[in-house]
Structure 1
Amino acid sequence: MTDLTRPQTPDPYPLLPAVASFTVTSDDVTDGASLKDDQVAALGNTSPQLSWSGAPEGTQSYVITCFDPDAPTPSGFWHWVLVDVPASITSLDTGAAAAELPAGAFHVRNDGGQAGFMGAAPPEGDQVHRYYFVVHAVSEPTLGVDADASPAVVSFNLAFKTLGRAIIHGTYQH
């Protein structure tokens, strides 16, 4: 087996241009604590409940992401990218990624190749991984990408259209 020992990757969000922050809470994710089995790919593979409030004035839509910067790749691992959630939506139920999405919203493929949520799946024996669930408040009604965009293209577009971010993160180790 390959030795995956390496330094922990920094939290990527403070490295981005500063934007306003707002609040995200979850019935399923406790900030900084281990994820529930439901959010683990091999156990439940279910997107968590999320609620947010206090988005900046001018928010016209949201993008919801889950990113693992600790994956043993130079680019981390995108577990969930939900684009063009209407500004009128301020919560998603548990399992919303596999249910009917809000009108106009769509998934781009995660790094597992699927459109939707992919639960935590770090390599066995690897270090603790962090899963950042982020609600991005967007200044436009649509981000201007389609379902064929990569998570990197979504992130690039967010760099120019994000008014604020609400972040909660869980952890998992296999």
Structure 2
Amino acid sequence: MSVRPPLPYEFLPQVPSFELTSRDITEGAGLAEEFAHGGGNLSPQLAWSGFPAQTRGFAVTCFDPDAPTGSGWWHWLALNLPGDTTELPRGAGSSDQALPGAASFHGRNDFPGHKYDGAAPPPGPAHRYAFAVHALDLAELGVTRDTPAAQIGFHITFHTLARAVITAEYSA
């Protein structure tokens, strides 16, 4: 029996949670082909509420801890979303122009690309995809489009007031 790597937030400082819903993905369920890299490559719709009143901005990420890299795989980093954002529609990960707010942009994922790039596991067991919305204590993270994803994750971690996560699975 193989042991799965931990989900990305199990070893980080604990923070409160808030409500995250989606019309496109369900906790623990399979990810539809339209959200996979070889399918439609669309980012799923996400909506959130109940985050702390002192939230100044958001980051939305998608991470695959099961990628055979030893360090997982970043699929999506939507950054500097305004503090009054409560939803990203399906496909918002296609470009910076599809994100709300003048300062919002996509960090470089591990494909590499500056957008959402969906599930693309090698043949074998299903991989988990953790879609997270991070409520932040600042409006802008102070990173660039080409800051490495791990470094962006570091900045997100130290500015997170609360976090909401939906984890879905996909296999090739």
Structure-2-length-normalised TM-score:
0.95
**Code of the aligned partner of 1:127:** P
Given the alignment of the two structures, is residue 58 of structure 1 paired with residue 44 of structure 2, yes or no?
no
Q: How many equivalent residue pairs?
A: 169
Stretches of structure 2 lacking an aligned partner (at least 5 in a row): none
Contact 2:8 2:63 in 1 (8 A): no
2:29 to 30, 33, 40: 33
Report the equivalent of 2:149.
151
**Code of the aligned partner of 1:88:** D
Stretches of structure 1 lacking an aligned partner (at least 5 in a row): none
Question: Aligned to 1:20, what secondary structure does the other structure show?
Answer: coil
* Percent pairwise identity: 46
- Cα shift at 1:14: 2.0
Given the alignment of the two structures, is residue 166 of structure 1 paired with residue 164 of structure 2, yes or no?
yes
Runs of 4+ aligned residues of structure 1 deviating over 2 Å after TM superposition are: none
Structure-1-length-normalised TM-score:
0.94
Report the equivalent of 2:14.
18
CA distance in 1, matches of 2:147, 2:154: 11
Tell me how large the CA RMSD over aligned residues is.
1.2
Report the equivalent of 2:135.
137
Q: Give CA deviations for 1:56-102 in whole Å, capped at 9, x if unaligned.
A: 12100000000000000111000000110001110000001115221
**Code of the aligned partner of 2:112:** G
Question: Aligned to 2:131, what secondary structure does the other structure show?
Answer: strand
CA distance in 1, matches of 2:2, 2:81: 36
Question: Aligned to 1:166, what secondary structure does the other structure show?
Answer: strand
Report the equivalent of 1:110.
109
Given the alignment of the two structures, is residue 49 of structure 1 paired with residue 45 of structure 2, yes or no?
yes
